[in-house]
Amino acid sequence: MHTSSEVPAPAATGPARVGRGDRSSAGRARGMFAALSVRNFRRYVSGQALSLIGTWVETVAQALLVLRLTHSGVILGLVTAARFAPVLLLSPYAGLLVDRFPKRRVLLVTQAGLGLVSLVLGILVLSGHAGLGQVVAAALVFGTFSAADNPARQAFVAEVVGRDLIRNAVTLNSTAVNVALEPGGIRELHWHQTAEWAIMTEGKCRVTTLSREGLPSVEDVFAGDLWFFPTGLPHSLQGLGPDGAEFVIAFDDGAQSESNTLLLTDWFAHTPPEVLAKNFRVAQETFDDIPLHNLWIFPGDEPGDLEADQVAAGVEWGGTEPVIFRMSQSKPVHENSGGSIRIADSTNFPAAKTVAAALVTVKPGGMRELHWHPNADEWQYYMKGSARMTVFNTGPHANTTDFRAGDVGLVRRNCGHYVENTGDDDLVFIETFRSDHYEEVSLAN
């Protein structure tokens, strides 16, 4: 694995062979964004983005409306349950029903229904006629439509892109998480059903964890540092001054979502106060003012001295497996005038048993040489600069794509590729792999 300071001429590519129909031509385009070559899939993704934005805006607005009408967290919880209970109870039967009808027709009905529910509730609010009963009814109807909409959407992707591109389409339909915390801002204590890998891109963050042996750790991380939280490891994050923290999270399972994240406040809200009092051996009144819904991210005072926090938490040095890796400070495995490459996997970061990573820096005029990875797909996040990547695949086909800071790339296992720095500044990007170790075959060795 090397970087080169010489830039070859751009690869010449001939016109793509086009078969009959939109799907067959896309089926041959095996690049990183091959599924987006299907016109209907592009329309679907665009529509989904607008639909999801509308759904979450409506969710927040409904919660605020309930609080304004009742000033009760308990009633808000009941209305939220009314919204999601149909999804829980009806989804298995809705899935069977969806299989009996054209998915596109089902989605037209469900999406129209969801939009109509929001429209009617909005009219009631604006006219001053919205009461708790109408909100509960809207929540139930919304949940009922959602129970059919969810399985229909998942099945519709396969119909749009076809069998050859389904894997690529599902990958494009997944999302990594970019999180920003203001100074003092807290991501509450939580844990996941999947492992969490992250790289700090800006600022500073205080990371608190609790090991499976019940031992705490408290550390500060900076730009270029990694963390890896195994499945079920509880952790909280807090932004530090003066600029807070920004980081990119990737999970080792594409099915990860907010629905399989477990939150401490959510658990407390679903636990009787007398049980909490018995567990923590304090008076029951201690829990009179706990939040009745999860907090996710909330403002807080900026933490004090790191050592003081470590002493207060009872940190025992060497008692827990390190979950932080100072990647930007690690020694490059390859370095020359064209740039450098640093590796973090289970060989030097033992906690990272399911995600391996490479931090690549390419100097202006340099390139990441021709290579491929035989053991896993490569997920990329471009942190600085601008790049041009060409991916070679079976067919044969070569697809070239430009990237800028904040963009995401994907290269399938065994597909040859190279990355050129097309700007005047250093190009920095991270490569991640769902594997415990890093592998590559290079044509520059």
Task: Please give the Cα distance from 257 to 168 (Å, whole number).
Answer: 19
Q: What is the DSSP letter of 48?
A: H
Give me the half-sphere count of Cα atoms (radius 13 Å) on the Cβ side of residue 398.
Answer: 12
3-state secondary structure 253-266: CCCCCHHHEEEHHH
Task: Please give the Cα distance from 398 to 48 (Å, whole number).
Answer: 29
Task: Please give the Cα distance from 356 to 431 (Å, whole number).
Answer: 8
Is 431 a residue of the active site? yes
Phi, psi dihedrals of residue 111, rounded to the nearest 5°: -65, -40
Q: Which of 196, 431, 439, 440 is catalytic?
A: 431
361, 367 contact by CB (below 8 A): no
Instruction: For residue 385, give Cα distances in angstroms to 1, 99, 175.
Output: 21, 46, 22
Instruction: For residue 123, give Cα distances in angstroms to 69, 71, 129, 237.
Output: 16, 22, 9, 40
Instruction: For residue 422, give Cα distances in angstroms to 46, 81, 370, 387, 410.
Output: 29, 51, 16, 5, 19
Nearest to 252 by CA among 169, 193, 324, 168: 193
Task: Please give the Cα distance from 141 to 150 (Å, whole number).
Answer: 14
Phi, psi dihedrals of residue 401, rounded to the nearest 5°: -135, 140
CA 66 from centre of chain:
30
Task: Please give the Cα distance from 422 to 393 (Å, whole number).
Answer: 23
3-state secondary structure 250-297: EECCCCCCHHHEEEHHHHHHCCCHHHHHHHHCCCHHHHCCCCCCCCCE
Angle subtended at Cα 53 by Cα 56 and Cα 378, rounded to the nearest 5 degrees = 110
Helix (H) / strand (E) element for 236: namely strand 235-239
Task: Please give the Cα distance from 198 to 360 (Å, whole number).
Answer: 16
Active site residues: 431
